[in-house]
Each structure stands twice: as C-alpha cells, then as structure tokens.
Structure 1
Amino acid sequence: MTEQKIGFGGGCHWCTEAVFQSIIGVSKVAQGWIASEDKNMSFSQAGIVSFNPENISLKALIEIHLLTHASAANHSFRKKYRSAIYYVDQEQKSAVEVAFSEAKFVLDENSITKILPLCEFRLNEEEFLNYYQKRPNAPFCQTYISPKLEMLRQRYTKQLN
C-alpha cells in the first residue's frame, strides 16, 4: 500500500508535530496551518501527517490525535486551534468517518472534532519546524509536549519510535 497523507488540528501545531513524529509508520509531519471550507476557511494550527497504513492504522492515528489535544473542549480559541481531521479526497473521507466512529471511544467525553476537507496548507517558518526536536528542554516543550509524549509512551509503546 502506498503512503497516505491526512491533516490533524486541535492544539498547538508544535505539539501535533512532536506527537506524530514519534509514531512508527509516520514518515513526515508538515507543521503549519490548514484552511478548510465555508465557516472553517480561516487558517488554524495543524499538521499534515504522511504515513504508511501498513505500519499504523488510520484508527490508531485518530485515537492518538483525540488523546493528545483537548478534543472535547469547546474553548474560546477554537478558531486558532480547530479540533479537526482533514481528509484529502472523498475516498479518504469515508475511511476517516469509519475510523473516527471507532476511535472516539478512547475519550470519556464527546469529541467536538470535525471531519473537514483539507483545502489549503501553509507551512510554518523554518525556524519553528521540528520545534520539539530542536528544543526539548524549552519551557513550552516541557510543560505541554513532554507530558503528551509520556502518555503515548505508556499507552502506545509498540507504535513509538
């Protein structure tokens, strides 16, 4: 099977990048902003994840996404941090809907995560790419990213690099 791409947004794009860079089967994470359509056409922090579905399932990626951001919280910053899964085409949309319906049970609350078309992507500036890899001891990384990676180490041991 060939490599696929999917977009994830919800929390800070630095967090999204670090989380998915740690997953076996993910070959690349492009971190920046994604715009969708209609009322979701404004750019929101997100990442595009390139992955091999033979090594990591779409359901597992969605579970990880739901667990590593406030996917049940409808806070005031949702325009900047839209909780979403962005599909690249109609075929993938169907697969995302099925995987999401199976994966959402990892949460104790109802998810507000939207399934949206990926319409446009803007890559972050070079100095902010690979943020956690370049600055693992920075206060932001220690406060927000490291705890997410620790939770993944405990819950998804076999799927981490």
Structure 2
Amino acid sequence: MDNKTTETAIFAGGCFWCTEAFFTELKGVEKVVSGYIGGTTKNPTYKQVCTGNTGHAEAIQITFNPDEVAYEDLLEIFFATHDPTTLNRQGADVGTQYRSEIFYTTKEQKNKAENFIKLLIDQNIFDNKIVTKISEATVFYPAEDYHQDYYAENSEQHYCRMVIAPKMEKLKKNYKSKLKE
C-alpha cells in the first residue's frame, strides 16, 4: 500500500446532487461525500436541513490527492459550476441551505480561497458581487445514503436531466484535461 497524502476540501454551492457530480469526475479526487455543515443541529436529516432552520448548508466533502489535483483547481471548478453571486440561492433552489460557502480545513486553504476570490474580483469574472463566504470547517455530517452518488444513480431523473446534465456537458467541454479518463 502506498502512503500518499490526501487532503479534504469542503464546498457548499447549492444542491449537493449537482456539486457532487462535478467533483467525482476530476483526476486526483478519490471520494466525494454529500452532507451538511455550518449549522447548529447535531446529526441533521435532509428533511430538517430543507426547512432552512438548522443553519446547515448542503455541501460536499472532497478527499483529494494534492499531488494530482491542486486545491486551486478545485476552487476553479467550484466557481465555474455554480453562481457565487446569488445569496442563499442556486437557480430554483432557495434558502440558506443553498448558500455559496467554502469551508477550509487548513489555514493554507483559507489563504488560497481568499486569494482566488480576490483574483476573480480583480479580473471582473462576474458581473455581480461574489457573496461566497469562507469559513473554518466545523463538523461535517454525511447525508443519507440515497443522496450519495445521486447523479450517477439517477441521471435519468427529471432534475438531473434538466439541471445537472447541461452543466456536466459544459464541464466536460471546458475542463477535459482535468477529468478522469
């Protein structure tokens, strides 16, 4: 067994079904878990988080090999696959559980996230103000089993075909070199 190092990145960028699908495809990403973070309710359920009263965001926890994919690459995909300028909303999904937030697991990730957002602002990448928060990671609660690998398991479902599939095509077109074979 080789002893390669892995790191953890945690992003909230709307519905975790969408965000999970993108990161699963990236080279260097070993595991993506959908879950909840940033709130006060211990061991929250999907039903509880959907109320918007738990303080948790739908998020993904990414285990990645930094020798194969840089944290900055993950940030690039994160910002390319959701709208970081809409507060507590992604498309038709509305509520604090759909906020744009980066939960850093190291001070280095915090610095990289701050620098990345500054770069996006300096280059006027978005027409509106970026509202993505950067917060220290707290307890990450994995979502129920039926939320894991949702797109892979349910790609024919209406939501997946209408919302996720077009974004996946864009990802495959624009980031081909960063995707697994």
Match of 2:11 among 5, 8, 13: 8
Name the counterpart of 1:157: 176
State whether structure 2 residue 52 is matched by structure 1 residue 33: no
Structure 1: distance between partners of 2:162 and 2:138: 32
1:24 is matched with 27
Return the index of the structure with the highest Cα Rg.
2
Look up the SS of the partner of 1:120 in the other structure: coil
Q: Which runs of 5+ in 1 are unaligned?
A: none
Q: How much identity, in percent, do the aligned residues show?
A: 32
What's the offset of the Cα at 1:95?
A: 3.0
Residue 108 of structure 1: aligned partner: 126
2:82 to 62, 69, 73: 69
Per-residue deviation, 1:108: 2.6
- Contact kept, 8 Å, 1:31 with 1:129, in 2: the verdict is yes
TM-score normalised over the length of structure 1:
0.87
1:127 pairs with 2:130: no
Match of 1:89 in 2: 106
Residue-pair matches, total: 158
Q: Distance in 2 between matches of 1:2 and 1:103?
A: 29
- CA–CA distance in structure 2, aligned partners of residues 36 and 52 of structure 1: 28
Q: 1:139 aligns with which of 129, 148, 158?
A: 158
Contact 1:59 1:102 in 2 (8 A): no
Q: CA deviation at 1:97?
A: 2.2
Report the TM-score, using the length of structure 2 for normalisation.
0.78
